[in-house]
Amino acid sequence: MFETDRLILRAFRESDWEYILKLWNNPTTQRFLWLDYVTPRGDKFVKDVLKPGMENATLYVIITSKDKRQANGEGEVMGYCEMAIANPKNREGHLEIGLLPEWQGMGYGTEALRFVVDHGFREFQLHRMSLGVLEGNAAARAVYTKMQVPKFAEFWICANDIAWLRFTVDLKRRAGGGR
């Protein structure tokens, strides 16, 4: 379990499926999480897409609130963040984040993503991390653009109207050679 100022980032539990499916079945969030048509997602989607993604992730955390609590005393589930390292030799990770609409626009995504990016560079010694954002998702692009320090970030456009953002660690700074 990890903590930031306002968040607890913890391991996935089976009871989290309710929140993950709520996120994936919300038409507003689904259209920015997935390239396919916006349709109801259920057990087959969990089995074929979500579970394999979680299992292949190097780090998969459920984002919960420190302040707002559920009836059981746990922090309310806000969303998820994952980092996958497909090819460790290249020291590059891929990021994904999803927040329920009621938690968007308040800096929680920036806070969670900042922790995961820093954790990837520090603990996994990655040199690069990237994530895709669909072209119409202006709010996400604004969040990702904020994530430049102490790294630099660049957007470039690919097929299917996806803008990819790559974070690259300043290796001189890491080695103590930068300012």
Give the pLDDT band (50/70/90) at residue 71: confident
The strand ranges marked E within the chain are 2-3, 7-10, 59-69, 75-87, 92-99, 128-134, 152-157, 162-168
pLDDT tens readout for residues 22-65: 999 998 888 888 778 888 999 898 899 889 888 999 999 999 99
Name residue 54's amino acid: M
Check residue 92 and give its pLDDT.
86
> Looking at residue 167, what is its pLDDT?
58
Per-residue pLDDT of 94-128, as tens digits, reads 888 999 999 999 999 989 988 998 899 889 998 88
Q: Are 77 and 17 in contact (CB under 8 A)?
A: no
- Which comes out higher in pLDDT, residue 147 or 22? 22
User: What is the H or E stretch that residue 139 is in?
Assistant: helix 138-146
Cβ pair 79, 98 in contact under 8 A: yes
Q: How confident is the model at residue 174 (pLDDT cuts 50, 70, 90)?
A: very low
CA distances from 115 to 30, 58, 110, 111, 132 (A): 24, 15, 9, 6, 18
**Residue showing tokens 């690069």:** 128
φ, ψ of residue 166 in degrees (nearest 5):
-115, 130
Question: Could you tell me the domains of the chain?
Answer: 2-174 (3.40.630.30)
pTM of the model: 0.82
Q: What is the mean pLDDT of the chain?
A: 81
Instruction: Report which secondary-structure segment, H or E, holds 142.
Output: helix 138-146
